[in-house]
Structure 1
Amino acid sequence: MSISPKVTPIYQTSVFTFEDLNALETYFQEPGKHYMYTRYGNPNSEELAQEINQLEHGQGAVVTSSGMSAILTAVLVYAKAGDHVLCAEEIYGGSSSLLSNELSRLGISVTYVPTADSYSLESYVQENTKLMLAETISNPMMMVMDLSRLAQVCLKNGLKLVVDNTFASPALTQPLQLGADLVIHSVTKYLSGHSDVTAGVVIAKAEADANRAAQIMRTWGLNLSPFESWLGARGLKTLKLRIREHSRNAQTIAEFLQQHPKVQAVFYPGLPEHPQHALAQTQGNGKCGGMLSFRIADDAEAVNQFMQALSHIPFAPSLAGVTTSISYPLGTSHRGLTKEQQENMGITVGLIRLSVGIEEVEELIADLEKGLAAI
């Protein structure tokens, strides 16, 4: 009797065996069809990569040990010592730290492009500029990038476009379809969705770029473990259902916060007042995701009072799980930025980022009401 499991087993092994030298030679002659060492490839990591590649309509993908290692891999696909890269000013703080503090030590320089100049890069491009890094929806101010327009500007200036699609996920937007060259995700977030995985992924429009990303992953030792690959593939199965509920709940909560007297501003693309509302509706296929930020009084004690009064929503410096959580960009994800960078992005003392889960929205609003009442 043959056994055919419905779910891929976990190949929890660091190495695979060979019958003889002939089998070893077959491994090298037929790449991708056999396994030798889990750093080079594993059935679980390849399953996850292939599933995400399909969702993003890519020509190849590689999963990595974290979202940060995915960003590193993507930059190294196109840039080497002596090269220059552009990066959107409104970017995840970890991306900024990687570029400014680490890749600069390897001889890769960076210039941050102000939001106002996102689609006019000419004055920032140098002879050695290789790529532009941007986010589909920026963290934490929820600015939506017009990816088609940005891709045209990059093409005109001879740049590769690398897009961090973590906040949107392919359930909303597929940047490769809009002209991007590489897409990256922190799989830790929406793709796995249950706050129990740390992983990243790089998806390429060109097969050659996917092969280069795989080479970087193997050589730098950025591989993802079999178990976390298996967990990521399991979470991916419910992505579209989860994003639908995340988006629905976030829209309701954004509207609630917008009318609350103790909330000074709400940043969510689903609100008509958002500057890129129309773009978000089009680029996100009518949904805007589960992330939003809002500002209360710029007073640390007010923020503490709000957090301490919440009963069900924890303060957890990450995002995109099935359960709702809050984060504090000034003290967590963006604390490594200069004060000037923080001010330019609008990251103030009273800014709170909310990752809206898929719980009953009435319960979430009641808890938020309780927190705001304590201020």
Structure 2
Amino acid sequence: MPNIQPKITPIYQTSVFKFEDLDAVQQYFDEPGSRYLYSRNGNPNSDELATAVAQWEGGAGAVATGSGMAAIFAALLTYCQAGDHVLCAADIYGGSAALLNLELSRLGIAVTYVPFESLYDLAAYVQPTTRLLLCETMSNPLLRVVDLRAAAAECHRHGLKLVVDNTFSTPVLTRPLGYGADLVLHSVTKYLAGHSDVTAGAVVARTPEDAARLRQIGVIFGLTLSPMESWLSVRGMKTMRLRVAAHSENALAVAEFLTRQPAVQAVYYPGLAAHPQNQLASEQGGGRFGGMLSFRLPDDEQLVNRFMQRSQRFPFAPSLAGVDSSCSSPLYTSHRALTDAQRAELGISVGLVRLSVGIEPVEELLADLAQALG
């Protein structure tokens, strides 16, 4: 057979790997990483993705998971068991809240939600069994920006771990481990893969011990990612730096445009000078602010429906971060699992519209928004 040296890793679309004899099997267990056994335990494609995300985030190791939700689950189980208590930022993805409220509570892990303004003073919320704080670099859907260095210092002062969902920001803009976070997670489905054709997640650990624990959880719970999805995610990450720059440039232009529209009551985007955390977001994001924003229309369902029906470049799609723009309703999709009281406290009402700004020519996006809002 000729010496084959592909520039791109092939897809190892196999569930199991062959061994020559008993000695070869024993080598697998005696020398971790020396070879592969079964794709749930490890596969060249999923390992390549985990390594790539860990390198981007500056971590000691990572696990690639079957979805962003699986990544959140793996991250929480790294530090928690029955009887433990978790703190979670009140501004959080609805899926994270659903996992905590509906499933982890059933397993004996309790949760308390911390208002954004209290994230840097946790004394009133910490219990003897509290293990960690879960937050987002940029919150979904109101784009509040967490001071990661301050949050990490406050967590560590109380002996807690800081777990950060970095999906909105990406490591192109912000690397939470460098600010003191203990774990950072991604819905790889979003900006890392970037083309709306993959469902995947990843968790990166700051220490080798936590990285080993993550891998153990991934294997035993069967959270690990398939070869094909891993290969697509790695391919997407090769253009992530360029895509995130384009997303950020377009989103800033869209946000500034929306502030001038009579029908728009408020715009939530960290790149706007009026945003409360604009300076912090600039420092943590290297002067870029990502591709996500939200804006507020009157709380009139028919009016919101007309906007969505008229828009051609921002179709209603309950996900985000693809190269093509889209819009979503947090009330009806991502934050549907929150209680009425939680949504009311956060201001998530029918008039709140979330935009995922893509990398199309920005003048086309602005023209579409102008006619949709007209």
Tell me whether the two structures share a fold, i.e. TM-score over 0.5. yes
Match of 1:354 in 2: 355
Match of 1:24 in 2: 25
**Cα-to-partner distance string for 1:70-101 (whole Å, 9 max, x where unaligned):** 00000000000000010000000000000011
Partners in 2 of 1:313 and 1:140 — Cα distance? 16
Match of 2:112 in 1: 111
**Cα-to-partner distance string for 1:121-143 (whole Å, 9 max, x where unaligned):** 00100001000000000000000
Match of 1:258 in 2: 259
**Cα-to-partner distance string for 1:169-223 (whole Å, 9 max, x where unaligned):** 0000000000000000000000000000000001000111011011011111111
Divergent runs of 4+, >4 A: none
Partners in 1 of 2:311 and 2:137 — Cα distance? 30
Match of 2:196 in 1: 195
**Cα-to-partner distance string for 1:249-290 (whole Å, 9 max, x where unaligned):** 000000000011110000000000000000000000010000
2:16 is equivalent to residue 15 of structure 1:
yes
2:228 is equivalent to residue 227 of structure 1:
yes
Q: What is the aligned-residue identity percentage? A: 61
> Bigger CA drift: 272-281 or 109-118?
109-118
Q: How does 1:284-299 map to 2 (within 5 A)?
A: 284-299=285-300
Indicate the SS of the match to 1:171.
helix
**Cα-to-partner distance string for 1:130-164 (whole Å, 9 max, x where unaligned):** 00000000000000000000000001000000000
Q: How does 1:262-277 map to 2 (within 5 A)?
A: 262-277=263-278
Deviation at 1:55, TM superposition (A): 0.3
Partners in 1 of 2:270 and 2:119 — Cα distance? 18
Partners in 2 of 1:45 and 1:311 — Cα distance? 36
Partners in 2 of 1:120 and 1:364 — Cα distance? 41
Supply the AA of the counterpart residue of 1:339. D
Deviation at 1:346, TM superposition (A): 1.3
Deviation at 1:370, TM superposition (A): 1.2
Deviation at 1:306, TM superposition (A): 0.3
Indicate the SS of the match to 1:289.
coil
Deviation at 1:303, TM superposition (A): 0.5
Indicate the SS of the match to 2:111.
strand
2:343 is equivalent to residue 339 of structure 1:
no
Partners in 2 of 1:251 and 1:199 — Cα distance? 27
Partners in 1 of 2:254 and 2:34 — Cα distance? 48
- Asked whether the equivalents of residues 257 and 366 of structure 2 are also in contact (C-alpha less than 8 Å), the reply is yes
- Asked whether the equivalents of residues 292 and 354 of structure 2 are also in contact (C-alpha less than 8 Å), the reply is yes
TM-score, normalised relative to structure 2 = 0.99
Partners in 2 of 1:133 and 1:313 — Cα distance? 30
- Asked whether the equivalents of residues 314 and 355 of structure 2 are also in contact (C-alpha less than 8 Å), the reply is no
Partners in 2 of 1:239 and 1:140 — Cα distance? 22
Partners in 1 of 2:200 and 2:193 — Cα distance? 9
TM-score, normalised relative to structure 1 = 0.99
Partners in 2 of 1:33 and 1:72 — Cα distance? 28
Partners in 1 of 2:55 and 2:112 — Cα distance? 33
Indicate the SS of the match to 2:106.
helix
Supply the AA of the counterpart residue of 1:115. F
2:129 is equivalent to residue 120 of structure 1:
no
2:160 is equivalent to residue 163 of structure 1:
no
Match of 1:248 in 2: 249
Partners in 1 of 2:206 and 2:84 — Cα distance? 22
2:56 is equivalent to residue 46 of structure 1:
no
Match of 1:64 in 2: 65
Partners in 1 of 2:281 and 2:167 — Cα distance? 15
Partners in 2 of 1:113 and 1:313 — Cα distance? 33
Partners in 1 of 2:34 and 2:123 — Cα distance? 45
Deviation at 1:33, TM superposition (A): 2.1
Partners in 2 of 1:32 and 1:228 — Cα distance? 21
Indicate the SS of the match to 2:241.
helix
- Asked whether the equivalents of residues 190 and 320 of structure 2 are also in contact (C-alpha less than 8 Å), the reply is yes
Supply the AA of the counterpart residue of 1:28. F
Deviation at 1:347, TM superposition (A): 0.7
Indicate the SS of the match to 1:69.
helix
Partners in 2 of 1:33 and 1:57 — Cα distance? 24
Partners in 2 of 1:276 and 1:87 — Cα distance? 20
Partners in 2 of 1:133 and 1:335 — Cα distance? 19
Task: Say how many residue pairs are matched.
Answer: 373
Deviation at 1:340, TM superposition (A): 1.0
Deviation at 1:17, TM superposition (A): 0.5
Q: How does 1:91-106 map to 2 (within 5 A)?
A: 91-106=92-107
Deviation at 1:357, TM superposition (A): 0.2
Match of 2:56 in 1: 55
Unaligned runs of 5+ in 1: none
Partners in 1 of 2:354 and 2:34 — Cα distance? 44
Q: Aligned-residue CA RMSD in angstroms?
A: 0.5
Partners in 2 of 1:249 and 1:151 — Cα distance? 31
Partners in 2 of 1:171 and 1:141 — Cα distance? 21
Partners in 2 of 1:227 and 1:127 — Cα distance? 43
Deviation at 1:349, TM superposition (A): 1.1
